[in-house]
Each structure stands twice: as structure tokens, then as C-alpha cells.
Amino acid sequence: MKRLTTAALAVAALAAAIGVQGAATPASDAPPPQAAAAKRPNILYIMADDLGYSDIGAFGGEIETPNLDALARAGRLLTNHHTGTVCAITRAMLISGTDHHLVGEGTMGEPRDERRGLPGYEGYLNDSALSVAQLLRDGGYHTYMAGKWHLGAGEPGKGKTPDQWGFERSYALLPGAARNHFGHEPDGARNYSEDGRFVQPGQGFYSTDFYTRKLIDYIDSKRADGKPFFAYAAYTSPHWPLQVPEPYLSKYKGRYDAGYDVIRLARIERMKKLGIIPADFKPWAGLPETPTRSPATANSGTPQARYVNAVNGAAQGHADYGPGRVVKTWASLTPLEKKAQARYMEIYAGMVDNLDHNIGLLIQHLKDTGEYENTFIMFQSDNGAEGWPIDGGADPKATDEANAAPEVYAKLGTDQVKRLQYGLRWAEVSAAPFRNVKGASHEGSVSTPLIVKLPGQHARQAILRDYTYVTDNTATFLALAGIEAPRRPAAPDPDPATGRDRNQGKVVYGTRNVYPVSGSSLLPLLQGAPIAQRGLPAADESYGRGYVFSTDGRWKAVWTEPPQGPVDGHWQLYDLRTDRGENHDVASSHPDIVAQLVQRWNGYMTQVGGVEPLRPAGFY
């Protein structure tokens, strides 16, 4: 790793184009004086947890998000940004800059199938990963994070905490979700750490408010030395459990009584007026109503089962799959169900509103301390909206009606230990106008809002609709800092048993052999130039589901296990040029394109060491 003259020149050129003062342009690869280093931009990266594509005002939502809307007016919207399908997968790619299979999160956590123990399926960030925080710290940046980590629990055999991956200061929720956003932890719990030491949240803790205060404290602690900082605000909001303090808890009372379709269609109309989607965009209408669960096949769950997966369908004699799930329309709900369902969304909206308030506090602090003009700010969600079925796929009527009882209803969203979720249908609203929700391979799962504001930028620039990916964020941070990621090839290391080179594709970083950053910096794109070619195809696999884009971005092939996907196990095909809502499967009309894309996906799986499970078991 070294400081790059060419990268710094790119930053300087970008700064000149947008009016940034004092961008550093080192004359050589030698470390520059401290004063010059201080002129490099700060980086504030803000990640929401399970926020849907259309939840914030700048992307068409009705929830009040004035601070993010102001950031959008001063910056730029990127409307074709993509992430992993679930939290840890995205976070692994953000930190490492490359595909999650290569760095230990082939699936979120350790798999419970035949892939358990395979390389790349450790369930935490493994030693083959780079860390953008370490690279930035080595390059002269302070590095801070507060919030969700989800890449290692800090115990033997469970991966490392953020301090061991280059974060100078960190306060982290180590697992994927909090028991309670108010921090009530059982005695002896090891879910939170600060700088590598297990800690317990204290009095006055509410996750979003606390992480903001902590990050501001970290930034202020070293501000006097003039070094730039990388601050990672890894909020856990609006991930379940649905909880938020007043006044946000009561603010949205009655706003969602009209139900799913009314809210979703209003969002879509606003998105069209804002230019987020074209006026003739055909949104996905949501799953069809299924009042009863479809049954599993007769052999499902038995040793005789031959499950349909992404490589074996009906044509290969595979026909088994699990049960479906109950999905109801608003009109089919009882009055009590509607009462509970509307309340869930009210609480969710309050969480998003509170999140926006805290983002505003962060940005205002930068302004108050004179750092705003020299700070690059990026905001996004880690994946699509969380649509976990409230009762695991069964009819949630009993749960919803119980939650509508006066004594229970009055406590919903308050400081209590309860895993309250808003369910599939509200997640479809959050994901509008796209198909499906978190955990799927469709756009509603892997497309998220992205807002970028360059240092010194004050006026909104035109919407960018080019395909971008979360690993591009990593490359962008390094380019802004004028830091080149490692690229010296590692020496071959043949496996005695197989002869396979265990260092194939790796580069040298200190004493380790690691996978290089495969994303491409967004800076050229933000300047109006094409983005550089990425190191890996635009494709993914998780939980046995898969997708792959054509090189020109027009076509997308998607595989989903039945009964959510086709019962014959075929790959679906969508023409994103006319159908980004993924309404019309055109696979039967273009078998040649499907074949090419599946071949491309198979090549991707070989490159990253991905293994398709014998029985796909989607995130839910």
C-alpha cells in the first residue's frame, strides 16, 4: 500500500472542478508532510440498516427526512446502486472491497448446510480480506466507527472486532441485530464492544442517538492534530425490533390507516415527479394474495428429496421444495389486523425520522467545526427492506390481533424487549417500485438509495443512473485519500492435496496474502467519465439464490427457489431497459441470452469460490 501521485492528482482535478480549496497533490510516493495530509478530504460514510429504496423523501417517501433531503439537494442521487442481499454480506464487501464469498461471508453467518467449514464460509471476515479502515489508517487517516459490525464477535473462532481491522476507535454492536434498541442486555452478554473490550450500554441509551454522540466524540478527540478522518456511522435503524422514543413514537399516528397500496402508489407517483424513475415506469405490484400456505413436495425433508437449485431443475430430475407462505392484501385483513399493521408502519416511520434527525446532527457538527467543506459524505442502506414474515410464513392474524388489544397496543414501539417487525407487505411498500425485499435476488433486495456529496459541493447535480456496486464505495474512499490498494501478486502456494494455488488472485499486504479491491472508484463517474472496469462480474449468490447482469446492464437473469420462484427451477430473465420492475419473465423468448448469462454466473461462482447448496433455503 502506498500513496499514489496519480490518485491524488485525480482528487485534485475533481476538487478543482467543484471548487474545493486546498486539495493535496503530493509530488512523490513518499509520505507528505502532516500539513499536506490534513488537506485531504474527510470521509463520512452513513449506512442505514434495512431501509427501503423509497423510504426517504429524496427518493419519494412520505416519511419526513429533511436532513437527507437537504444532503440530496447539495449533492447527487445515484439511483442504480446495488448491495448484497443481506446485512453481513454487504458489510463484508464494503470493508474488504471485494466479493463476500472470498472473505468469509459466503452466506450471512456460518452456513447450516454442507458448505459449513468450506473456505469463504467462515461466517466472519477472514484473513484473506483487506480492510479499507486499515488502508486509510496506514495512509494517515483517523478511522472511527459506531454502530453495527456483524463481521466477527471477538471471541475465539468467531472473528475479529473492528479495532483489529483498522478502526482507531469503535463502539460496535457485534451481532446482526440488537435485542432492544434501548440497550437492555442480560448480565454477561457480549454483544457490544468498545475498542475491542466487551461493554454494556448504560442508562439513556437509544441506539441511533447513542451512535451519533459516540461518533462525534471520536471525531472531536483528535481534531486538533489536523489529520483527516474516516467516520463510519453504521446505524442499526430501522432494523427490527421496531422501537423509537417520543416524539417520534407518536408522530405518525393515523398516517398509514389507508393501507399498503395507497401508500405505495403515492410513493411511486412522487418518484416519477422527482425523476427517480421514468414517467412510464411499470412498478411491481407486489406478491399475489395467497390466503393459505402451499404445501411442500412429498419428499421435502426426507433423505429421498432431490431439491431444485440454481444448477439442477426439473430437466435434471429435481422437483422438491419447501412450503409457501401466507400473503394477504389490505382488503383481506380484519379491522384489528389493520390496526396493528398500521401501527407497525407508524413506528417504522418514526425510526426513519429519528435516523434523519441524527444524520442532521452529524452534518451540523461538521459545519460547526469547519470540517463540512472538506468532507465527502455518502449515505445508503445496507440492503433492501426487511420483509421477514411475522409468523414465519403462517397466517399472522393471531399475532396481529393480539398486538391490537389495548393493553398491548399501547406499548408497541416502546422500551420493551420484543421482536416487533412490520412484515412483508410494508417491506414491499418500502421497496417500491421494485420487486421483492431483503434476501432476494430481485431489485427490491439489492437496489438501495445512494446520496453522495463531494467536498465543497453545494448545488445538486443531475441524477446518475449508471450501475454502481457497494465495492465501488471502498475504491472511492481510497481514491479520495490518494491511497493505492495493494496489487503486488502473492507468490504461488500449491495445496499439497489438490495442487490448487491457494494464493491465486491474491495480492500481498504486509505479512498477509489477501484478495484485492475489485470495485472501481466512483470519482470518474461523478466527473462525467466512464467508470473503470471492475475486477468481478456483476453477479451474486446467497442462500442458493442468484443473479447476474449482462455486461451492458440491459439483461438480468435471476434464480429463486420454488415456490417463490418457478417450480421447474428455470432461470428468469428480465429486460431492465424496459422492465426494471422485473414484472415480465422473458426467458422463454431469449433462451440464448439466458444460456450466456448462466454461463457468466457459473464463471463468477468459480472465480469467487461460491458453492450452490443442495437445498436452497432463502434468508427467511
Catalytic center residues: 87, 150
With cell 485519500, the residue in question is 481
Check if the beta carbon of residue 609 is closer than 8 Å to that of residue 101. yes
Distances in Å between the Cα of 107 and the Cα atoms of 48, 52, 99, 399, 556 are 20, 21, 11, 30, 22
| Helix 335-368 / helix 207-221 crossing angle, nearest 10 deg | 10
Helix or strand or coil: residue 481? helix
Beta strands in 23-159 (DSSP E): 42-48, 76-82, 142-148
The length of the chain in residues reads: 620
Q: CB-based contacts of 395: which residues, under 8 Å, 6+ apart?
A: 291, 292, 326, 328
Distances in Å between the Cα of 502 and the Cα atoms of 118, 321, 439, 506 are 13, 35, 30, 9
Between strands 507-509 and 483-484, the pairing is unpaired
Sign of the Cα torsion 537, 428, 451, 361 reads negative
Between strands 197-199 and 192-194, the pairing is antiparallel
Per-residue cell: 113: 448446510
Distance CA 432, CA 267 (A): 7
Helix or strand or coil: residue 489? strand
Distance CA 339, CA 256 (A): 10
Q: Which is nearest to 106 in space by CA: 471, 610, 555? A: 610
Per-residue cell: 230: 474516516
Sign of the Cα torsion 612, 616, 617, 618 reads positive
Check if the beta carbon of residue 174 is closer than 8 Å to that of residue 153. yes
Give the H or E element holding residue 484. strand 483-484
Check if the beta carbon of residue 565 is closer than 8 Å to that of residue 572. yes
Give the H or E element holding residue 359. helix 335-368
Per-residue cell: 389: 414474515
Q: CB-based contacts of 56: which residues, under 8 Å, 6+ apart?
A: 63, 65, 68, 69, 352, 356, 449
With cell 493505492, the residue in question is 484
